[in-house]
Amino acid sequence: MKNKNIDLIRKKLDKLDLKMLNLIKKRSILVNKVLKEKKYKNQIIDKKRIKNILKKINKESKKRNLDTKITNPIWKVMIRSFINYEFRNFKKK
């Protein structure tokens, strides 16, 4: 038996996923700009910045009443993925 409410909600989720993809694309463009400014591979991982990002996401998640057990792992994976992207695309001058 098919649940029409679930189908409707899933369509909304699909639309939201596409919006998230657009945001990831915008973030990728900015990461590329930052990467072009880096002269050495050891500049790719900035532990202090990562710590600050995660702290900020944690704080903002709580402010928005979001479960940090959802947001924190998402950001960790996203950060790790962009770090890997930077290593793959780093070009020495």
Provide the pLDDT for residue 91: 83
* pLDDT per residue as tens, the chain (93 positions): 788 999 999 999 999 999 999 999 999 999 999 999 999 999 999 999 999 999 999 999 999 999 999 999 999 999 999 999 999 999 864
> Rounded to whole angstroms, how far apart are CA atoms 78 and 7?
28
Q: Which CATH class is domain 4-89?
A: mainly alpha
Domain boundaries, the chain: 4-89
Helix, strand, coil percent content, the chain, rounded in steps of 5: 80, 0, 20
Complete DSSP assignment for 10-23: HHHHHHHHHHHHHH
